[in-house]
Structure 1
Amino acid sequence: MKYHLVSLGCQMNASDGERVRSVIENMGYQWTDNEEEANLIGILACSVRQKAIDKVYSKIHKWNLWKNKRNLITFVSGCILPSDLDKFLKLFDIIFQMKDLPKLPEMIQQYGITTPVGLQQGFDSQNENISEFWHVKPSYTSEFEAFVPIQNGCDKFCSFCAVPYTRGREVSRPSDEIVTEVQSLVERGFKSITLLGQNVNSYGLDKKGDEIDFPELLRRVGNLGNQLNKEFWIYFTSPHPRDMTDEVIEVIAQYKCLAKQIHLPIQSGDDKVLIHMNRKHGMEKYRQIVHTIKCLIPEATLFTDIIVGFTGESDDQFENTRKAMNEFKYNMAYIAMYSPRPGALSHRWFDDVSLDIKKERHHILTQDLKIHSKNYNSSMVGKTYRVLVKGQAKHDGYLAGLTEGRINVRFLSQEENLIGQFVDVKITSAADFSVEGEMITIKESVA
């Protein structure tokens, strides 16, 4: 018996997928890359983006046609809005929430006996018993990179976002479990570990007095790095500017294993648009955070998220976002054209920015980003960087990897045994979003 799983959307779904794989494989199913030979096919949906939902419908249409020729069970989970849920009930054999993942074997044995009433009751309490999900041991898809969830849900209620309605309110995972999982991964040789949550720097705020906060969690992981004396990088995503404190930045600066790369979503560079988005922070607050990062961790790279064409965004307001792009000189920005999502507050508002204008603004920001990224990458030429080798590059004869700041690097080598290892690369040339170099040494991690 074989299975196939498709994960759409963000890293949270990718991380959840590793636990889904573990449960399915414990039932005796074997993974296949070819969905056409699978007996069980699932998809982790993402209602946050319309393109992701469109892909779900495309996939399930094809899979249901296959049922005319062979036995096949389909399931869906992930970030699902009630409006999408109602439609999925008619298309999939099994629908479940992540908190109910331990019950998936029973659902499969019953061939997907899912009642709309029972399922809706479950979606009214998304994070109830979420600890059972966290206790599922993941089947990691990489031997050197891993995700470690530290919380689930969101309390911010940005007007454009559906996550609070798909994942529920914020619930923090016990810190002892997090540190234990990180330690286990490092001892097994993992080199890159990402702490995951919708708003990681609000970790512990839902359990005041009963749990540590995010800076202390980072400190404990940093101390773990000192104790284990192994080479690895710890990342986290995504923080929210509202809860980002100087202490978080101070802790990152203090510990070697805490990667000097920060993803700080700005969404817009205009204060009025930020209010409309219900972001609960202004540009001055954001500017202070970036200033602190530059002062305490001058070598850190800065990534962000930006939405163009949000409801009511004027030309002048977009220009303020462009000014922010040019002020902060991001190494990478994930730029999205706004699209209303059912369930989010902004879905009630008229989407008054045309698609053509959104495309134009997206293009303009992307061109600005290229300039700043290329300038930074050019400053790397002649310097040597530690690189985690991730795999073969698109160009034959080259390997590809990432610096600690997550800058893409390629270098001439056909030694596949280097994949998953750290190497030193001297940068020789730069492009818009990547650099090229020459490997000069291979330094083994200290055991």
Structure 2
Amino acid sequence: MGKKKIAFYTMGCKLNYAETSTIARTFSKLNYEQVSFKSFADIYVINSCSVTKNADTKFKYLVRFFMKKNAKSFIIAIGCYAQIHPKEISYIRGVDLVLGDKEKFQINNYIDPVHLLKKYPAKIISTKINSDFYSSYSIGDRTRSFFKIQDGCDYKCSYCIIPMARGYSRSESIENILKKIQFLIQKGVKEIVLTGVNIGDYGKKIYGTNERRTFFDLIKVIEENIKENDVRIRLSSIEPNLLKKEYIEFLSKSKHFVPHFHLPLQSGSNDILGKMQRRYRRELYQEKVQNIRDFIPHAYIGSDIIVGFPGETHRHFLETYHFLKKLDISYLHIFSYSQRPKTKSITLQEHISKKIQCKRNKILRALSQHKYLSFCHKQINTKKTVLFEKNDKNEKYLYGYTENYIRTKIFFKNMYINTLHKVLLIKVDTDGVMIAQSIENNLDKYTLH
């Protein structure tokens, strides 16, 4: 019998990518052939997201898409949506198996490779959220690796469903993190992105021990233990109230941590921040941005914003808009508020219409585009280091990101793939990508800052 073909599709965050890659690797040792999700497969695994209603809708679209590829395919749902609403998913026509947060890491135990019979409603194998920590990292399909160092969240933001999907905050031990970082480096990974639900909360509970550490402990130990010059570390999103000034100062002097910060704001109105049950006011956020600019002027600073939160009046929105306009940040991820079952915000009055949400979303997207282009233009004629990615489309350019997260392209050279290469930034092209020029004489003499 030939190998069964299995395909994976990841929705949502970098953390999901790390976990999908880890789960997929378990099948490489078995009698399965992994193929693209765009291809015919016997089994499709969807690692779902449930941050917004749009994510739920996309999940249903994906099921229909895979059924068109192979009407007899066996479709498995894992991830946050599967953990929170297993019964709802089980009645989506085409889904055959729903696995909870713990069970997804034992997925091969629940598949009979011989009799992959479709079921309706789908079989559910899901337990309540537990306190286990499942180490995860991505490798093989990208020049960078997403590496999970922390899971769960103890925060109670009124709009957020993730703590219900992933449980309380817990972390990988520093010892294990260092071992895996070294493993990834030995495998040729040039950039490692530290991911989690709330990475700034790292160390409050180290899984399997009574030890307590801090995020600062972690980044210091990582910096001290990486001996290779051509490796860089990137941080994923970190809560502004957890990014202390001493952390920023330390990172500004780092040889490996790149000047890239993603600080979720969510609203520029203190009234709305209070209703969201965020743990800071906008004055603190402004202070953190200024701290970064003082120590690392060229750093990329991204942010998340939610528009249309219940009770967000026109005045509240204008507060957010003008606050953001003055902030020296580089980019905005804009989300329209989405009601999530079992969250506190669903009980709030004064819900905002979709029409107004879309209008506010569009205004902030335009502001974001302006800020990003402004940030890029300030970097023109500066020397940066780009990690170039594999070119799968036979284009004339290679693409990659500078240390401060500017999407950059250079004329194709095979030798540049998966290498850190020193370039001079020339101009922003019409597609919004920075055009760069190689600095040939400095191939072996580059710094990350």
TM-score, normalised via structure 1 length: 0.89
Q: Write out aligned runs for 1:81-120 (5 A).
A: 84-91=85-92, 92-109=95-112, 119-120=125-126
Q: Tell me how far 1:99 sits from its aligned partner.
A: 2.6
Please say which of residues 320-329 and 59-68 is displaced more in the overlay.
59-68
CA contact (8 A) 1:81 1:343 kept: no
Q: Write out aligned runs for 1:375-390 (5 A).
A: 375-390=374-389
Task: Extract structure 1 runs of 4+ deviating beyond 6 A.
Answer: 112-118
CA contact (8 A) 1:271 1:282 kept: yes
CA distance change for structure 1 residues 33 and 343 in 2, over 3 Å: closer, same or farther?
Answer: same
CA distance change for structure 1 residues 101 and 418 in 2, over 3 Å: closer, same or farther?
Answer: same
Q: Tell me how far 1:97 sits from its aligned partner.
A: 2.8
CA distance change for structure 1 residues 358 and 325 in 2, over 3 Å: closer, same or farther?
Answer: same
Q: Tell me how far 1:157 sits from its aligned partner.
A: 1.7
Gaps (5+ residues) in structure 1?
none
Is 2:267 the partner of 1:268? yes
Q: State the percentage of identical aligned residues.
A: 23
Q: Tell me how far 1:31 sits from its aligned partner.
A: 1.2
Paired with 1:277 and 1:177, the residues of 2 have a C-alpha distance of 35
CA contact (8 A) 1:127 1:153 kept: no
Give the RMSD, CA atoms, in angstroms.
Answer: 2.7
Q: Write out aligned runs for 1:200-219 (5 A).
A: 200-207=199-206, 210-219=211-220
CA distance change for structure 1 residues 204 and 117 in 2, over 3 Å: closer, same or farther?
Answer: farther
CA contact (8 A) 1:79 1:166 kept: yes
CA distance change for structure 1 residues 439 and 288 in 2, over 3 Å: closer, same or farther?
Answer: same
Paired with 1:181 and 1:83, the residues of 2 have a C-alpha distance of 30
Please say which of residues 73-82 and 42-51 is displaced more in the overlay.
73-82
Please say which of residues 242-251 and 75-84 is displaced more in the overlay.
75-84
Q: Write out aligned runs for 1:246-395 (5 A).
A: 246-350=245-349, 352-392=351-391
The CA deviation string for residues 183-223 of structure 1, in whole angstroms up to 9 with x for no partner, is 21123321111111111111112359613210110011111
Please say which of residues 13-22 and 354-363 is displaced more in the overlay.
354-363
Paired with 1:395 and 1:368, the residues of 2 have a C-alpha distance of 33
CA distance change for structure 1 residues 315 and 220 in 2, over 3 Å: closer, same or farther?
Answer: same
Q: Tell me how far 1:354 sits from its aligned partner.
A: 1.7
Among 13, 18, 22, the residue aligned to 1:15: 18
CA distance change for structure 1 residues 314 and 177 in 2, over 3 Å: closer, same or farther?
Answer: same
Show the counterpart of 2:404: 405
CA distance change for structure 1 residues 296 and 277 in 2, over 3 Å: closer, same or farther?
Answer: same
Gaps (5+ residues) in structure 2?
none
Paired with 1:333 and 1:310, the residues of 2 have a C-alpha distance of 17
CA contact (8 A) 1:175 1:211 kept: no
Matched AA of 1:4: A
The CA deviation string for residues 287-346 of structure 1, in whole angstroms up to 9 with x for no partner, is 221222112222211111111111111111111111221222321111111111223221
Please state which structure has a larger fraction of its residues in helix: 1
Show the counterpart of 1:443: 443
| Secondary structure at 1:423 match in 2 | strand
Matched AA of 2:262: H
Paired with 1:430 and 1:393, the residues of 2 have a C-alpha distance of 23
Paired with 2:122 and 2:44, the residues of 1 have a C-alpha distance of 21
CA distance change for structure 1 residues 393 and 424 in 2, over 3 Å: closer, same or farther?
Answer: farther
Matched AA of 1:430: V
Among 419, 426, 429, the residue aligned to 2:427: 429
TM-score, normalised via structure 2 length: 0.89
Matched AA of 1:214: F
Show the counterpart of 1:31: 34
The CA deviation string for residues 376-408 of structure 1, in whole angstroms up to 9 with x for no partner, is 211222222111112449894222111101111
Q: Tell me how far 1:67 sits from its aligned partner.
A: 6.8
Q: Tell me how far 1:83 sits from its aligned partner.
A: 6.0
CA contact (8 A) 1:154 1:169 kept: yes
The CA deviation string for residues 234-258 of structure 1, in whole angstroms up to 9 with x for no partner, is 1122211222212321221232101
Paired with 1:118 and 1:372, the residues of 2 have a C-alpha distance of 46
CA contact (8 A) 1:174 1:211 kept: no
CA distance change for structure 1 residues 83 and 290 in 2, over 3 Å: closer, same or farther?
Answer: closer
Is 2:425 the partner of 1:420? no
Q: Tell me how far 1:46 sits from its aligned partner.
A: 0.6
Is 2:78 the partner of 1:77? yes
Q: Tell me how far 1:25 sits from its aligned partner.
A: 1.8
Paired with 1:37 and 1:116, the residues of 2 have a C-alpha distance of 21
Show the counterpart of 2:47: 44
Matched AA of 2:283: E
| Secondary structure at 1:402 match in 2 | strand
Paired with 1:172 and 1:182, the residues of 2 have a C-alpha distance of 15
Q: Tell me how far 1:278 sits from its aligned partner.
A: 0.7
Paired with 2:394 and 2:313, the residues of 1 have a C-alpha distance of 42
Matched AA of 1:423: H
Matched AA of 1:27: L
The CA deviation string for residues 34-79 of structure 1, in whole angstroms up to 9 with x for no partner, is 55521111100111122221121122245457775x4x32211111
Paired with 1:246 and 1:351, the residues of 2 have a C-alpha distance of 38
Paired with 1:81 and 1:105, the residues of 2 have a C-alpha distance of 17
The CA deviation string for residues 136-171 of structure 1, in whole angstroms up to 9 with x for no partner, is 7x5624353101101111111211111011111111
Q: Tell me how far 1:274 sits from its aligned partner.
A: 0.3
Show the counterpart of 1:230: 229
Aligned length: 434
Show the counterpart of 2:186: 187
